[in-house]
Structure 1
Amino acid sequence: MNKILIIHDRFQFRGGAERLVLDLANILHADIVTEFWTETTYPRSEVPHGLTVLDTSEPHMMVFRYFRAQWNFWWKTRKLIQKYDTIIFSGNNCLAAALRPLSQKQTIYYCHTPVRYVYDLLAMRRKAEPSLLKRIFYYDIGKYLIRFFYRLGLARMKTVVTNSKNVQDRLVRFCHTQSLVVYPPIHTERFAWKGQQDFYLSYARLDALKRVDDIVRAFQNMSDKKLVIASGGEDAEHVAELAKGFPNIKLVGWVEDEQLKDLVGNCLATIYIPVDEDFGMTPVESMAAGKPCIGVNDGGLCETIIPEKTGILIPKTYQIEDIIKAVQSMTPERAMLMRADCEEQAEHFSLERFAKNIHALIYTKDKTHIAIDASRSIESVQKTGVEVVSDALLTNLERMRPDTINLTFYTPKMISWLPKNLQQIISHHKFWTILGLSFAMLRDKPHVLFVPVHALPFFCPKKTIRVIHDVSFLRTPEAYCLREQLYMRMDLLRAKYICSDVIVPTEAVKNDLIHLLHWPQEKIVVTGWGIPEIKTTLHNPSKEQTNPFILFIGRIEEKKNVANLIQAFALFHKTHPHWKLILVGKPGYGFEQIIPLLETPGVEHLGYVSEEKKSELLYSASMLALISYEEGFAFPMLEAFQAHIPVIASAIPTLMEIGEDAVLFADPNDIATLASNMKRVADDELLREQLVTRGSEKLKKYSWEKVTEQILKILLKK
């Protein structure tokens, strides 16, 4: 049986976080631990199961509260926490309870908001503090300590959940931590339409961040509009003073649940304009009663209020006049027209939906957690063949994943085209794989690690699958510096003993692993790759050009045999002086020796180009030349087949395996034959048509969907 414990900071207010904890305890049959419980919060009789209160009351000074809370949660829960299988943390100080070995526990953090007073609200809070000593101690010095312990506790969580996309974004900005969004439960069944009276309602807690005082100032200018304020808080005296002398503004203080239901059910509309609210239950409770909400276009309210359908959003940087205008435009007739949309929108945040999402989150032990190294798919990386493979596999694994697996993409930066909630940001800048990814594997303990790029982390799960793109450094060691050779040899040696399976793109790479490195054949799976996407606005342009050219795509380096390509083109150019050779790619190993050859007449080096520019060149070229000494795969060849241009290539195993009879082959060191093949393609229209037709047929063999299906079987294989 899964015993569940909820650890919550404190029960001090009748707030949304406290209500959520009580709901969680009821849904999950969980016990609750909290630091203290005051009379201003919910009655203890509402706790459905066990309750442990660590201290008796709230300390007077904020600094004492923080340190006492850290001590209480860390020390006083040390024995209690061992009795439970799943621990849910709710709040910020409570994370101190996680600063001990909990590797056998399921740890979940439900984040209502990060510690904002040491992040985005730091300047405002510091400015509002009258004591210079407190400003220095609490904010200038204390912020570093609080941030440290908060991030330390956060790192101990196996799953992080936030109550809104707004808070999800904050966690990324402040702590580089990814999370899942599970909207908090709203007791929509407790709120219902009861009628429409002539008052507007505010029941947000009275503090500076809720800005109820601005609502009061607006109603000071609307004597014909009634406002009821049903709440209390530290700003109560200030708000009461503002309302004094205005009979249309009524303060009733905190009210019982039944009285609040009557107020919400009978009001004309509610008003809620907080500063960057985390989520905001008030608008949803209001909508559950069929009442629209006048809110502010900021924070979590943007996720709940649909403008002109379930309420009105005033500008983020509003003036009092904006509140007045919104109230005046929310007439009884307009509010009535919004009733059905309000009630429909509220159902998206019901208790039943929350319970379903929480159960799915907690009871996922039967699912396979697959970690994926996504480091080469960030936007700042210049894309070569390896990155093309990584992008395509990540896209299709996310799209085609079955319900039996949970994916986590580990990355140094956010990847815009992958779901945010599936990404885990590891912010190490140096030694990202060896240190950052390694520690993440130790912390998260995924069932499977899939590495579609180069190196393995130092620590790997028992089941680790990796892609080996090629082993060309073994066949052409002269094309690599000694450091690269040693690094790649050591990495392959580790992969041989660590990986349960390796994926390779061609039979040629598989044979190299077997014959050169003595890998066991049963460990190697050949999947091939799919067809790369060509981004261009050109469609079947004419190949009849006044300035035809041969295109090369790849690094300008020794192993790509660029020197021999240029020399072969020089021979060809003597009889075809109007032709050009265009080289596309960034410099690689041995580029210094190639530089003088770039001065050869007709040769142009464009360097690294965008995908769009590369595609335009492919569709405009007359032929593609790919005469490398070694290749793991041949994306430029498939791209040429797509662009309907003929290909000349070197007679090496990988290229012959892919090109077969759709390509003219030659020994990569036979410059005369290479030049002759250029001439044959340039002069023989029938040959060009035959090669293009055969190339188009070859494309039918390659599909990212088929590759992904094969990889998923490998990842899920027991």
Structure 2
Amino acid sequence: MSENALERLRHWGGARRIAIVHDWLVVSGGAEKVLDALLQAFPGAEVFTLVDFLPQAHRGRLDKHRVHTSLIQRMPLARRYYRHYLPLMPYAIEQFDLRDFDLVISSSHCVAKGVITHSGQRHLCYCHTPMRYAWDMKEAYLVDAHFRLPGMEALVRRTLGRLRQWDHFTASQVDRFVANSANVSRRIAKYYGRGASVIHPPVDLDAFTPNDGAREDYYLAASRLVAYKRLDLIIRAFRDMPERRLKVVGDGPERGRLAALARGCPNIELLGFQPDPALRELMARARGFVFAADEDFGIMPLEAQACGTPVIAYGRGGALETVRETPDAQATGLFFHQQSAASLSEALARFEQRRYDPHACRRQAERFAPTGFWERWMSLLEADQSETDAVVPNYRDNKEPTS
């Protein structure tokens, strides 16, 4: 592009009122990094979210934007138990009044795409995944819930069934879907019957950089400590390999169980939450980054590669789009193909039989630079505008189309 893509986006957005709808602001994860990139592109946008309990240290550009929260923000114990209000979330998201906006962008992995828009508005959904509670992780969610009250599981199943119906219906109200990966694009087609463009999340290449110092003899795993990330699988594998060291970074509801699994294993360290500079240093010095989740996209393997660190990843989901397993010098890691400790152990043995070029890892991460993210958004918005103008010629100047 002849002009800087970020400046072109800002200029484009400056002529429009833009609302960005995000499910919730509680922790800083991959979805929040995408939100931050969108806020950088649209500095005049207003943000709508179910709850906002994001710590000040992680707010970034949010403090420069007006943030609207839903009725769930004021519900009892919402700060800690906001997820328990899942049955109320569709109603809450539909209460936002977005009539004054020209463009609505929903950043959705749960209910954000269900906001109500009106004629003359465009609704673009950046979909991190169709609601996993209702679709492909429903059974795992029910198992992990450990229901103790009689009839509770049947009630939750009925609730998830209603959520699935609502989720499918509201997909028809979105004007255009954008998926964060080809993996998610396929799920959008399966569950919603809709096509989706793919725009991968951006990697902060300025923050995650190779370390000039020597690498240390440990492997790193880092994520929120929740069940589907499968940190338990990684710990079980290293528990049976006392000659290999593992450092685990993160906090969450699984921490107690994971600590119990690692008890008595001096080769395994659970470091808990680490600030970003410490995490980046750990990534840059690690022998390899271990990733066991079947993730929608997964930004951390790319952040590790940006540090020059190769990745050992479960060979499903978004990792297939971010890690290069090739026989040549361009390889940036390898895959294990069963979500089991034995499969991971075998992969680690293969990993240690070859050398990986930190420069190749860095080049792979550079394919996901923020510049590319903004260029693809600019191209998509221009194409969407052209299609809309062809149907509604006065779209730029009128909230309501002419007959």
Q: For the superposition of Structure 1 and Structure 2, which TM-score range results when normalised by the shorter chain?
A: 0.7 to 0.9
**1:259 and 1:60, CA in 2 relative to 1: closer, same or farther beyond 3 A?**
closer
* Aligned equivalent of 2:300: 282
Match of 2:53 among 38, 48, 55: 38
* Aligned equivalent of 1:214: 233
- Using the alignment, how far apart are the partners of 1:28 and 1:165 within structure 2? 25
**1:6 and 1:462, CA in 2 relative to 1: closer, same or farther beyond 3 A?**
closer
Match of 2:78 among 58, 63, 71: 58
Q: Does 1:119 align with 2:122?
A: no
What amino acid does structure 1 have at the position aligned with 2:346? K
Match of 1:69 among 89, 105, 130: 89
The correspondence of residues 152-167 of structure 1 with structure 2, limited to 5 A, is: 152-167=169-184
Following TM superposition, by how much is the alpha carbon of 1:42 offset from its aligned partner in structure 2, in angstroms?
5.6
The 8 Å contact of residues 203 and 230 in structure 1, kept in 2 or not, is answered as yes
* Aligned equivalent of 2:38: 24
Following TM superposition, by how much is the alpha carbon of 1:290 offset from its aligned partner in structure 2, in angstroms?
0.9
TM-score, reference length from structure 2: 0.84
The 8 Å contact of residues 36 and 61 in structure 2, kept in 1 or not, is answered as yes
Secondary structure in 2 aligned to 1:324? helix
- Using the alignment, how far apart are the partners of 1:366 and 1:68 within structure 2? 34
**1:122 and 1:365, CA in 2 relative to 1: closer, same or farther beyond 3 A?**
closer
Q: Does 1:322 align with 2:343?
A: yes
- Unmatched 5+ stretches in structure 2: 1-14, 394-400
The 8 Å contact of residues 59 and 65 in structure 1, kept in 2 or not, is answered as no
Following TM superposition, by how much is the alpha carbon of 1:240 offset from its aligned partner in structure 2, in angstroms?
0.8
**1:103 and 1:329, CA in 2 relative to 1: closer, same or farther beyond 3 A?**
same
Following TM superposition, by how much is the alpha carbon of 1:136 offset from its aligned partner in structure 2, in angstroms?
0.8
Secondary structure in 1 aligned to 2:129? coil
Following TM superposition, by how much is the alpha carbon of 1:182 offset from its aligned partner in structure 2, in angstroms?
0.7
What amino acid does structure 2 have at the position aligned with 1:299? G
The correspondence of residues 224-235 of structure 1 with structure 2, limited to 5 A, is: 224-235=243-254
Following TM superposition, by how much is the alpha carbon of 1:63 offset from its aligned partner in structure 2, in angstroms?
8.0
* Aligned equivalent of 2:272: 253
Match of 2:203 among 179, 183, 186: 186
**1:228 and 1:69, CA in 2 relative to 1: closer, same or farther beyond 3 A?**
same
What amino acid does structure 1 have at the position aligned with 2:306? A
Q: Deviations over 1:219-263 (max 9, x none)?
A: 112222111111111111111111111111111111111111111
Following TM superposition, by how much is the alpha carbon of 1:369 offset from its aligned partner in structure 2, in angstroms?
5.8
- Using the alignment, how far apart are the partners of 1:353 and 1:279 within structure 2? 16
**1:44 and 1:287, CA in 2 relative to 1: closer, same or farther beyond 3 A?**
closer
Following TM superposition, by how much is the alpha carbon of 1:31 offset from its aligned partner in structure 2, in angstroms?
2.3
Secondary structure in 1 aligned to 2:349? helix
Match of 1:347 among 363, 366, 375: 366
- Using the alignment, how far apart are the partners of 2:120 and 2:252 within structure 1? 41
Following TM superposition, by how much is the alpha carbon of 1:16 offset from its aligned partner in structure 2, in angstroms?
0.4
The 8 Å contact of residues 243 and 267 in structure 2, kept in 1 or not, is answered as yes
Q: Does 1:357 align with 2:369?
A: no
Q: Deviations over 1:122-175 (max 9, x none)?
A: 223233443252211112x12331122212221111111110111111111112
Following TM superposition, by how much is the alpha carbon of 1:61 offset from its aligned partner in structure 2, in angstroms?
6.4
* Aligned equivalent of 1:4: 18
What amino acid does structure 2 have at the position aligned with 1:38? F
Following TM superposition, by how much is the alpha carbon of 1:40 offset from its aligned partner in structure 2, in angstroms?
5.9
Secondary structure in 2 aligned to 1:222? coil
Following TM superposition, by how much is the alpha carbon of 1:58 offset from its aligned partner in structure 2, in angstroms?
2.4
The 8 Å contact of residues 11 and 41 in structure 1, kept in 2 or not, is answered as no
* Aligned equivalent of 2:10: none
- Using the alignment, how far apart are the partners of 1:287 and 1:61 within structure 2? 35
What amino acid does structure 2 have at the position aligned with 1:328? A
- Unmatched 5+ stretches in structure 1: 371-404, 406-444, 448-460, 464-718
* Aligned equivalent of 2:12: none
Secondary structure in 2 aligned to 1:5? strand
- Using the alignment, how far apart are the partners of 1:138 and 1:62 within structure 2? 16
What amino acid does structure 1 have at the position aligned with 2:119? S
Following TM superposition, by how much is the alpha carbon of 1:39 offset from its aligned partner in structure 2, in angstroms?
4.8
**1:366 and 1:300, CA in 2 relative to 1: closer, same or farther beyond 3 A?**
closer
Q: Deviations over 1:621-680 (max 9, x none)?
A: xxxxxxxxxxxxxxxxxxxxxxxxxxxxxxxxxxxxxxxxxxxxxxxxxxxxxxxxxxxx
What amino acid does structure 1 have at the position aligned with 2:51? F
- Using the alignment, how far apart are the partners of 1:354 and 1:85 within structure 2? 22
Following TM superposition, by how much is the alpha carbon of 1:105 offset from its aligned partner in structure 2, in angstroms?
1.1
What amino acid does structure 2 have at the position aligned with 1:34? T
What amino acid does structure 1 have at the position aligned with 2:88? R
The correspondence of residues 281-320 of structure 1 with structure 2, limited to 5 A, is: 281-308=299-326, 309-315=331-337, 317-320=338-341
* Aligned equivalent of 2:287: 268
**1:166 and 1:365, CA in 2 relative to 1: closer, same or farther beyond 3 A?**
closer
- Using the alignment, how far apart are the partners of 2:88 and 2:392 within structure 1? 35
The 8 Å contact of residues 306 and 362 in structure 2, kept in 1 or not, is answered as yes
The correspondence of residues 361-440 of structure 1 with structure 2, limited to 5 A, is: 361-364=380-383, 367-368=386-387
The 8 Å contact of residues 87 and 163 in structure 2, kept in 1 or not, is answered as no
- Using the alignment, how far apart are the partners of 2:41 and 2:183 within structure 1? 25
* Aligned equivalent of 1:142: 159
Secondary structure in 2 aligned to 1:88? strand
What amino acid does structure 2 have at the position aligned with 1:313? F
The 8 Å contact of residues 63 and 138 in structure 1, kept in 2 or not, is answered as no
The correspondence of residues 508-523 of structure 1 with structure 2, limited to 5 A, is: none
Secondary structure in 2 aligned to 1:108? strand
- Using the alignment, how far apart are the partners of 1:307 and 1:268 within structure 2? 17
Following TM superposition, by how much is the alpha carbon of 1:82 offset from its aligned partner in structure 2, in angstroms?
2.2
What amino acid does structure 2 have at the position aligned with 1:314? F
Aligned length: 367
**1:326 and 1:93, CA in 2 relative to 1: closer, same or farther beyond 3 A?**
same
The 8 Å contact of residues 392 and 402 in structure 2, kept in 1 or not, is answered as no
- Using the alignment, how far apart are the partners of 1:231 and 1:64 within structure 2? 22
Q: Deviations over 1:308-360 (max 9, x none)?
A: 41101001x243222122223333x844x331221111111111110111122
* Aligned equivalent of 2:104: 87
* Aligned equivalent of 1:499: none
